[in-house]
């Protein structure tokens, strides 16, 4: 347990455990008042409010509901032993660690042992024990898991303490907690419950006087609240402010590397740099220069955060950790959100953060299109990002130290730009690198210093380690420039230039199908590229009947459609519910809250597509999500059909997967021809397959001589167009439609004989 020691000055209460002379805590009574004591009480009140317990008046005895709940959870058993107390605390207050439980149980045993020596019977001991347990849960649960930690929790008690209250305060103090008793009317009442003055010390001041009339914690709280209102949104203003860019020489990286002491010496300022460097100074050395730059910054013992754009959005857990409520006004919202900014290690820095937050929020509020709800969301994002990076940027921070935030990429998000404006008003150097001049950075700020270079370079990641440094030769960069000239907005496309694509189903005349079927996608109507994605015009059609009832020309026309990239289904159904599929067992694990769990899918040992190119895998999973999300298949989100969809897509035939692997979104796309000549119904699985392949970019053609209804039975909406071309015919036999092997040429003798037939 902890020892009770005397303090040398009131400020000793605010020393952390490692700064104290020994494993000690402080338990004091204050019976008089001075300005110094008043200042101490105010500061101690704040400390207890932040990480402790404030008691105004008596600690209420457990009521019937409290006792009933205790009995339900713990029973009414009692044993006078530290082991029993420790086991009970483990169930009752599970957030306590073993050391804290040991200290509290030992201290509680000592307190009850004193009652035994005072002649108290076992029933009285049991009642006292249950009272202590209820108080620990209902009144002190906030601090029990921080007892004895580096930042000692505080208890502030106002009034005359009772015997049992003194016992519980002593128990907590022995376990690692500071306690201050405010006794406005002197020590007489206290000495009745502690006649030997063994539990606490009295703080005596040479010039101490009686407490002012009407002095109370309630009044102190009102004064603090009035001061907050007086300071309005900023609260207590910081004593230091930023001197941003006024000291720089416009040398970019050299400015950032300038030693902090060489930037300026006015103690009222921290000297930081805020700049954006667009373009690159040398294509051959740029990446290596960035690597050496961040190494130099780290070697100077500065705190550094490196981020690649875009900055990941706050997670639901991060957003949930921000305290907020409904607001009626902008000022109310800003003031309340700013209360989330806490930095106990440095109140000065905390005030700088709050002021920067308020400044940036007010700037953002001036935008004409900002409503209260949107502004609140931006404020929450700002606070989430601050909490995410705060510990890295300000580890062991002291004035006039300045951290460093390096960002590689193009800022295209208002919230992200707002975050940079916020960081630049803190003791942080903020440097935005935008080497690709084809990307326009949207960050605007009056404080921002701009540096421009003429050359452009695509760099996807900031080089953090030696393995990240990849430098191109002069020939390599020349080729990239040629690529830009040839393949940007020219209608000419590099092999697999695009990693993302969206299918757009064409509505056509029947005769157009044959004309478009073998055309490259880039030559089809409505082809386009937008935001690094291809819009692919694809065919998804059903052809019913046989033209003029002529079977041989019908099959000949079908054979003409078959290419090297055509997958043919000759009879229905192709896939059945009974078809073996090992992914059915795992499908439910891969989908939650309407979203595919992509990382879990890819990490699963049965995942079948790990050998495909990464962009192909992402394309396939994108369209799987889309197929489910748009509820194209009947039963989706109604009877578990979504899990069947997942299982089927994760177990496609090998031939189809190979067609996807070699598919280039700007060139010829793969095909599926489904021939259905009988009354046998097409399966749900076949419907899922064709709907999915339509989304990934296949041309799909259903040939139905019978005119029967087939695949559309399982579609929620009209996905394909139907063409009626002639008479319905039944039980036709499908001939051999195999495409000749690639590279096979027709012999000249065959060509002549064919002409003569």
Radius of gyration of the chain (CA): 37
At 498 the pLDDT is 87
At 748 the pLDDT is 47
Tokens of 157: 């008690």
At 309 the pLDDT is 82
At 756 the pLDDT is 43
For the chain, count helices (H), then strands (E): 25, 24
Q: How many Å apart are CA 240 and CA 353, to the nearest integer? A: 11
Helix axes 414-423, 347-365, angle to 10 degrees: 140
β-bridge pairing 671-675 and 566-569:
parallel
Q: How confident is residue 743, by pLDDT bands cut at 50, 70 and 90?
A: very low
Does pLDDT of 489 surpass 80? no
At 178 the pLDDT is 96
591 versus 482: which is more confidently predicted? Answer: 591
Residues 6 or more apart in contact with residue 262 via CB below 8 angstroms: none
Does pLDDT of 477 surpass 90? no
Does pLDDT of 479 surpass 60? no
Nearest of 79, 359, 371 to residue 244 by alpha carbon: 359
Q: Are 734 and 570 in contact (CB under 8 A)?
A: yes
Does pLDDT of 537 surpass 90? yes
Does pLDDT of 98 surpass 80? yes
Q: How much helix, strand and coil, in percent to the nearest 5, is found in the chain? A: 40, 15, 45
Tokens of 155: 């208890």
At 464 the pLDDT is 82
At 610 the pLDDT is 92
At 20 the pLDDT is 93
Does pLDDT of 704 surpass 60? yes
At 742 the pLDDT is 44
Q: What value does the mean pLDDT take over residues 245-271?
A: 94
Please state, rounded to an integer, the average pLDDT across all residues of the chain. 89
Tokens of 714: 């399982």
14-58 pLDDT, tens per residue?
A: 999 999 998 999 999 999 999 999 999 999 999 999 999 999 989
Does pLDDT of 444 surpass 50? yes
Q: What value does the mean pLDDT take over residues 646-650?
A: 95
163-197 pLDDT, tens per residue?
A: 999 999 999 999 999 999 999 999 999 999 999 99
Does pLDDT of 699 surpass 50? yes
Nearest of 641, 647, 673, 424 to residue 558 by alpha carbon: 673
Does pLDDT of 355 surpass 60? yes
Q: How confident is residue 476, by pLDDT bands cut at 50, 70 and 90?
A: low
At 478 the pLDDT is 57
Tokens of 429: 């150097």
At 668 the pLDDT is 93
CB atoms within 10 A of CB 688: 24
At 482 the pLDDT is 55
Q: Which residues pair with 244 in a beta bridge?
A: 272
Nearest of 528, 575, 521 to residue 697 by alpha carbon: 521
Q: Are 235 and 60 in contact (CB under 8 A)?
A: no
3-state secondary structure of 243: strand
Does pLDDT of 566 surpass 60? yes
At 303 the pLDDT is 94
227-240 pLDDT, tens per residue?
A: 675 567 777 788 99
Does pLDDT of 337 surpass 90? yes
How are strands ordered across the β-sheet holding 27-30?
Answer: 52-56, 154-158, 178-182, 27-30, 201-203
Q: What value does the mean pLDDT take over residues 419-436?
A: 95
pTM of the predicted model over 0.85? no
Does pLDDT of 684 surpass 60? yes
β-bridge pairing 274-278 and 428-434:
parallel
Q: How confident is residue 739, by pLDDT bands cut at 50, 70 and 90?
A: low
Query: DSSP assignment of 548-573, as one string?
Result: GG-HHHHHHHHHHH--TTEEEE-SS-
Q: Are 351 and 238 in contact (CB under 8 A)?
A: yes
Q: What percentage of the chain exceeds 90 in pLDDT?
A: 72
Q: How confident is residue 713, by pLDDT bands cut at 50, 70 and 90?
A: confident
At 513 the pLDDT is 93
Which residue's structure tokens are 């190119």?
Answer: 613
For 445-572, where are the E strands, in sequence order? 449-452, 500-505, 528-530, 533-538, 540-544, 566-569
Nearest of 554, 602, 587, 598 to residue 705 by alpha carbon: 554
Q: Give the rounded distance of the alpha carbon of 410 from its chain centre.
A: 20
């Amino acid at each position: 347990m902890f020892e009770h020691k005397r303090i040398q000055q009131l400020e000793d209460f605010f020393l952390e455990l490692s700064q104290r002379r020994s494993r000690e805590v402080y338990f004091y009574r204050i019976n008089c008042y001075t300005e110094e004591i008043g200042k101490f009480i105010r500061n101690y009140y704040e400390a207890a409010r932040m990480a402790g317990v404030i008691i105004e008046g008596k600690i209420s005895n457990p009521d019937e509901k409290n006792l009933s709940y205790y009995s339900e959870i713990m029973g009414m058993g009692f044993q006078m032993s530290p082991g029993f107390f420790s086991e009970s605390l483990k169930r009752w207050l599970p957030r306590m660690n073993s050391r804290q439980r040991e200290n509290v149980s030992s201290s509680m045993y000592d307190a009850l042992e004193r009652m035994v020596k005072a002649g108290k019977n076992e029933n009285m001991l049991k009642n006292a024990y249950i009272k202590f347990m209820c108080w620990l849960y209902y009144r002190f649960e906030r601090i029990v898991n921080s007892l004895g930690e580096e930042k000692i929790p505080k208890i502030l008690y106002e009034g005359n303490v009772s015997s049992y209250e003194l016992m519980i305060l002593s128990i907590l103090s022995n376990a690692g907690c500071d306690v201050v008793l405010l006794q406005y009317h002197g020590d007489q009442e206290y000495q009745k419950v502690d006649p030997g003055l063994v539990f606490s010390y009295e703080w005596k001041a040479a010039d101490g006087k009686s407490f002012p009339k009407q002095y109370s914690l309630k009044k102190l709280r009102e004064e603090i609240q009035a001061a907050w209102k007086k300071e309005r949104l900023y609260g207590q203003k910081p004593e230091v402010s930023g001197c941003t860019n006024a000291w720089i020489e416009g040398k970019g990286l050299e400015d950032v590397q300038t030693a902090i002491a060489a930037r300026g010496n006015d103690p009222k300022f921290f000297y930081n740099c805020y700049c954006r460097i667009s373009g690159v100074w040398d294509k051959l050395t740029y990446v290596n220069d960035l690597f050496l730059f961040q190494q130099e910054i780290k070697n100077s013992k500065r705190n550094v955060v490196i981020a690649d754009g875009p900055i990941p959005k706050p997670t639901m857990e991060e957003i949930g950790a921000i305290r907020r409520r409904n607001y009626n006004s902008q000022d109310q919202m800003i003031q309340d959100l700013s209360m989330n900014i806490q930095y106990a290690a440095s109140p000065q820095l905390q005030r700088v953060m709050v002021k920067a937050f308020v400044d940036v929020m007010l700037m953002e509020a001036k935008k004409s299109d900002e409503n209260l709800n949107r502004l609140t969301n931006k404020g929450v994002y700002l606070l989430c990002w601050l909490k995410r990076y705060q510990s890295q940027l300000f580890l062991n921070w002291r004035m006039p130290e300045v951290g460093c935030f390096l960002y590689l990429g193009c800022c295209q998000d208002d919230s992200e730009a707002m975050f940079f404006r916020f960081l630049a008003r803190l003791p942080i150097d903020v440097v935005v690198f935008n080497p690709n001049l084809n990307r326009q950075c949207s960050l605007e700020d009056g404080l921002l210093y701009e540096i421009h270079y003429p050359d452009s370079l695509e760099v996807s990641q900031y080089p953090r380690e030696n393995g990240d440094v990849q430098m191109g030769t002069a020939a390599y960069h020349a080729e990239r420039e040629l690529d830009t000239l040839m393949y940007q907005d020219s209608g000419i496309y590099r092999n697999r230039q695009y990693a993302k694509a969206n299918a757009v189903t064409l509505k056509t005349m029947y005769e157009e199908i044959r004309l478009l079927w073998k055309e490259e996608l880039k030559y089809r109507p409505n082809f386009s590229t937008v935001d690094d994605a291809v819009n692919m015009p694809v065919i998804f059609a059903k052809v019913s009947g046989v033209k003029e009832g002529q079977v041989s020309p019908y099959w000949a026309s079908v054979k003409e459609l078959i290419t090297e990239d055509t997958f043919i289904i000759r009879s229905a159904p192709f896939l059945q519910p009974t078809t073996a599929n090992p992914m059915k067992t795992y499908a439910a694990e891969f989908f939650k809250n309407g979203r595919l769990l992509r990382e879990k899918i890819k990490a699963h040992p049965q995942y079948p597509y790990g050998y495909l190119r990464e962009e192909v895998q992402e394309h396939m999973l994108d369209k799987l999500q889309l197929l489910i999300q748009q509820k194209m298949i009947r039963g989706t989100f109604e009877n578990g059909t979504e899990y069947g969809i997942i299982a089927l897509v994760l177990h496609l035939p090998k031939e189809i997967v190979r067609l996807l692997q070699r598919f280039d979104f700007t060139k010829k796309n793969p095909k599926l021809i489904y021939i259905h000549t009988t009354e046998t119904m097409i399966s749900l699985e076949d419907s899922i397959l064709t709907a999915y392949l339509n989304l990934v970019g296949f041309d799909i053609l259903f040939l139905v001589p019978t005119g029967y209804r087939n695949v559309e039975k399982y579609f929620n909406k009209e996905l394909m167009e139907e063409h009626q071309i002639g008479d319905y015919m039944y039980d036709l036999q499908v001939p051999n439609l195999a495409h000749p092997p690639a590279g096979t040429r027709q012999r000249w003798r065959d060509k002549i004989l064919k002409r003569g037939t």
